[in-house]
Amino acid sequence: MVEIEVANSSGAELDAPAAAELIRAVLHDEGVDDGELGFQLVGPEEIRALKRDHLGIDEETDALAFPLDGRDPVPEGLPRQLGDVVLCPQVVGDAWRAPLVHAVLHLVGYDHGAEMEARERAHA
Protein backbone atom coordinates (compact mmCIF):
# COMPACT_ATOMS: atom_id res chain seq x y z
CA MET A 1 0.00 0.00 0.00
CA VAL A 2 1.15 3.54 -0.70
CA GLU A 3 1.67 5.44 2.53
CA ILE A 4 0.75 9.11 2.26
CA GLU A 5 1.96 11.68 4.75
CA VAL A 6 -0.33 14.72 4.66
CA ALA A 7 0.68 18.15 5.93
CA ASN A 8 -1.55 21.22 5.68
CA SER A 9 -0.02 24.64 6.24
CA SER A 10 -2.36 26.34 3.77
CA GLY A 11 -4.98 27.54 6.23
CA ALA A 12 -7.63 26.03 3.92
CA GLU A 13 -9.66 22.86 4.11
CA LEU A 14 -9.46 20.07 1.56
CA ASP A 15 -10.93 16.56 1.73
CA ALA A 16 -7.63 14.81 2.55
CA PRO A 17 -9.13 11.28 2.69
CA ALA A 18 -10.66 11.75 -0.79
CA ALA A 19 -7.34 13.14 -2.08
CA ALA A 20 -5.44 10.16 -0.64
CA GLU A 21 -7.94 7.78 -2.24
CA LEU A 22 -7.47 9.51 -5.61
CA ILE A 23 -3.66 9.42 -5.27
CA ARG A 24 -3.73 5.68 -4.52
CA ALA A 25 -6.15 5.00 -7.40
CA VAL A 26 -3.95 6.85 -9.91
CA LEU A 27 -0.82 5.09 -8.69
CA HIS A 28 -2.56 1.70 -8.78
CA ASP A 29 -3.67 2.31 -12.37
CA GLU A 30 -0.05 3.18 -13.18
CA GLY A 31 1.21 -0.07 -11.63
CA VAL A 32 2.54 1.41 -8.38
CA ASP A 33 0.98 -0.21 -5.33
CA ASP A 34 3.59 0.40 -2.67
CA GLY A 35 5.79 3.23 -1.56
CA GLU A 36 5.73 6.48 0.34
CA LEU A 37 4.55 9.88 -0.78
CA GLY A 38 4.31 13.31 0.80
CA PHE A 39 1.19 15.41 0.16
CA GLN A 40 1.57 19.04 1.17
CA LEU A 41 -1.13 21.69 1.14
CA VAL A 42 0.36 25.17 1.09
CA GLY A 43 -0.78 28.75 0.66
CA PRO A 44 -0.37 30.90 -2.46
CA GLU A 45 2.82 32.61 -1.31
CA GLU A 46 4.53 29.33 -0.45
CA ILE A 47 3.66 27.63 -3.74
CA ARG A 48 4.83 30.73 -5.59
CA ALA A 49 8.16 30.58 -3.73
CA LEU A 50 8.53 26.87 -4.48
CA LYS A 51 7.87 27.41 -8.18
CA ARG A 52 10.28 30.34 -8.27
CA ASP A 53 13.02 28.49 -6.37
CA HIS A 54 12.73 25.18 -8.22
CA LEU A 55 11.51 26.12 -11.70
CA GLY A 56 12.67 29.72 -12.00
CA ILE A 57 9.13 30.99 -12.65
CA ASP A 58 7.79 33.63 -10.26
CA GLU A 59 4.04 32.94 -10.26
CA GLU A 60 1.41 31.06 -8.31
CA THR A 61 0.44 27.62 -9.54
CA ASP A 62 -2.09 24.98 -8.61
CA ALA A 63 0.22 22.02 -7.97
CA LEU A 64 3.86 20.96 -8.11
CA ALA A 65 5.51 17.55 -8.13
CA PHE A 66 8.92 16.65 -6.75
CA PRO A 67 9.60 13.07 -7.93
CA LEU A 68 12.20 10.77 -6.42
CA ASP A 69 12.21 7.02 -7.24
CA GLY A 70 9.36 6.99 -9.76
CA ARG A 71 9.24 3.52 -11.27
CA ASP A 72 12.99 2.95 -10.99
CA PRO A 73 14.07 -0.26 -9.23
CA VAL A 74 14.70 0.14 -5.52
CA PRO A 75 16.89 -2.13 -3.38
CA GLU A 76 15.15 -5.08 -1.74
CA GLY A 77 13.67 -4.16 1.62
CA LEU A 78 13.64 -0.40 1.04
CA PRO A 79 10.36 1.43 0.48
CA ARG A 80 9.83 3.24 -2.80
CA GLN A 81 10.12 6.99 -2.20
CA LEU A 82 7.75 8.47 -4.76
CA GLY A 83 8.40 12.08 -3.79
CA ASP A 84 6.15 14.97 -2.86
CA VAL A 85 3.06 16.56 -4.32
CA VAL A 86 2.35 20.14 -3.29
CA LEU A 87 -1.12 21.59 -3.86
CA CYS A 88 -2.46 25.07 -3.19
CA PRO A 89 -6.15 24.88 -2.18
CA GLN A 90 -6.59 28.64 -2.60
CA VAL A 91 -5.50 28.44 -6.25
CA VAL A 92 -7.35 25.23 -7.22
CA GLY A 93 -10.54 25.80 -5.23
CA ASP A 94 -13.00 22.95 -5.62
CA ALA A 95 -11.32 21.81 -8.85
CA TRP A 96 -8.38 20.11 -7.07
CA ARG A 97 -8.72 16.64 -8.56
CA ALA A 98 -7.28 17.33 -12.04
CA PRO A 99 -4.16 19.20 -10.78
CA LEU A 100 -3.60 16.44 -8.21
CA VAL A 101 -3.77 13.72 -10.89
CA HIS A 102 -1.39 15.76 -13.05
CA ALA A 103 1.15 16.08 -10.24
CA VAL A 104 0.94 12.38 -9.30
CA LEU A 105 1.56 11.39 -12.91
CA HIS A 106 4.74 13.48 -12.83
CA LEU A 107 5.87 11.42 -9.81
CA VAL A 108 5.80 8.24 -11.89
CA GLY A 109 7.72 9.71 -14.79
CA TYR A 110 5.27 11.35 -17.17
CA ASP A 111 6.22 14.60 -18.87
CA HIS A 112 3.82 16.99 -20.55
CA GLY A 113 2.54 15.70 -23.86
CA ALA A 114 -0.02 13.48 -25.51
CA GLU A 115 0.72 10.39 -23.40
CA MET A 116 0.33 12.32 -20.14
CA GLU A 117 -2.87 13.98 -21.38
CA ALA A 118 -4.30 10.55 -22.24
CA ARG A 119 -3.46 9.27 -18.75
CA GLU A 120 -5.07 12.37 -17.20
CA ARG A 121 -8.27 11.74 -19.18
CA ALA A 122 -8.24 8.11 -18.04
CA HIS A 123 -8.23 9.28 -14.41
CA ALA A 124 -10.82 12.05 -14.85
Once rounded to an integer, what is the mean pLDDT over residues 5-28? 96
- What local confidence, expressed as pLDDT, does residue 70 receive? 85
- Model-level pTM greater than 0.75? yes
Query: 75 to each of 69, 78, 80, 83, 106, how far by Cα in Å?
Result: 11, 6, 9, 17, 22
Confidence tier at 107 by pLDDT (50, 70, 90):
very high
Query: 48 to each of 2, 44, 86, 94, 115, how far by Cα in Å?
Result: 28, 6, 11, 19, 27
pLDDT at 124 over 80: no
pLDDT at 113 over 90: no
What average pLDDT does the chain have? 94
Q: What is the pLDDT of residues 67-98, one digit of tens each?
A: 999 888 889 989 999 999 999 999 999 999 99
The CATH superfamily assigned to 2-122 is Metalloproteases ("zincins"), catalytic domain (3.40.390.30)
- The residues, ordered by sequence, that sit 6+ positions from 61 with a Cβ below 8 Å of its Cβ are 47, 48, 51, 88, 91
Q: What is the pLDDT of residues 43-54, one digit of tens each?
A: 999 999 999 999
- What local confidence, expressed as pLDDT, does residue 32 receive? 92
Whole-angstrom distance, CA of residue 2 vs CA of residue 89? 23
